[in-house]
Amino acid sequence: MTTRYKINELFETLQGEGSFTGQPSIFLRLQGCPVGCSWCDTKHTWEIHPELEVNSKQLLSKSEETEQWSNLTLDEMAAIFSQQGFQAKHIVITGGEPCMVDLTELCHYFEAQGYSCQVETSGTFEIRVSKQCWVTVSPKVNMRGGYKILASAMQRANEIKHPVATEQHIDDLKALLAEHKVEHKQIYLQPISQKQRATELAIASCIANNWRLSVQVHKYIGIE
């Protein structure tokens, strides 16, 4: 049986966050997420409504964020890359919560074609990817969905990118790192909603803890 993936968006842009900031990338945004982050900027990806399934042409013609999604095979995605003339060789698998799905086959498929893969996850689901896939865990602590951060996700992470707005978020991260004995990983703080107070807190905390700052460059320069 051919595997299909529920895709909300498929587009080429620059990665605006974390270690790959500035990297030309193809984004695969999967539909579905039960985590329930209050500040989420992709709430249109949370629910999977069967009646909102569209074909790939309709998916690509979307001019605004919607809950519409398309059920695509890997061959169909690759064909879209070619038809759209995408030049990027880095694929960012995001959502939604992409790790609700086993992504191993997807990673192997595109890596065999010369792409690198990166997955962005909340760390609340088992991460099933290739060994080469770069894993960005953005741990979502005490969210509405009630999901816990998995120890396996924290250990698999290549980078940890933590959204912050208050001192409590800093305390949550420190507790998480201590609980899971996380060492020698790249730690990024990402101010929520680009608010000045959150940004100032993130800068001070990065300096104090020798962490790094991720400022969602794409939002500052006005690209998708």
What residue ranges in 16-58 does DSSP mark as E strands? 24-30
The tokens for 2 are 């051919």
Q: Find out whether 15 is annotated in a ligand binding site.
A: yes
In this prediction the pTM is 0.93
List, for residues 174-224, the tens digit of each pLDDT value: 999 999 998 888 999 999 877 789 999 999 999 999 999 998 777 676 766
Token reading at 166: 């208050």
In the sheet that holds 5-14, the strands lie side by side as 70-72, 5-14, 24-30, 90-94, 116-121, 134-137, 159-164, 186-191, 212-213
* 44-69 pLDDT per residue, tens: 999 999 999 999 999 999 989 999 99
Domain positions in the chain: 5-161
On whether the CB atoms of residues 83 and 60 are closer than 8 A, the answer is no
Backbone angles phi, psi at 94, to 5 degrees: -135, -165
Determine if residue 41 is labeled as part of a ligand binding site.
yes
45 is in an annotated binding site: no
Known binder of ligand: residue 14?
yes
59 marked ligand binding residue: no
The reply to whether 29 sits in an annotated binding site is yes
Domain 5-161 architecture: Alpha-Beta Barrel (3.20)
138 among annotated binding-site residues: yes
